[in-house]
Amino acid sequence: MKLIDLFMKLFISEYKWVYSMHAFLIGPYFTLLGYLLYKYSKGYTKYEEFLESSAKALIIIGLVMSSYHGYKWMLRNKNSFS
């Protein structure tokens, strides 16, 4: 099997592209965005509590999104690895 065919079978075909995009791109992006917001939002005293809680929410959403869609992606590809 060619490499491109294997890639298409694991990540793109059917509904797998949604799971792979959310598990490997969007979820980690949200987590990184939340971390950077938390790290660099110091000094905004007027909105500090709001920014801190927003950053924590982004980190949690990113981790949950990656975990859930990664699990669903693994279930869809269960037969591909055996």
For the chain, the domains span 17-80
pLDDT tens for the 82 residues of the chain, in order: 688 887 888 888 888 889 999 999 999 999 999 999 999 887 777 888 888 999 999 999 999 999 999 999 999 888 776 5
Residues 70, 35: Cα–Cα separation, whole Å: 21
Q: What is the pLDDT of residue 29?
A: 97
Q: What is the pLDDT of residue 82?
A: 59
Please classify residue 46 by burial: count the beta carbons closer than 10 Å to its beta carbon, then call 0-12 exposed, 13-18 middle and 19+ buried: exposed
Pair 31, 59: CB distance under 8 Å = yes
Q: What is the pLDDT of residue 57?
A: 96
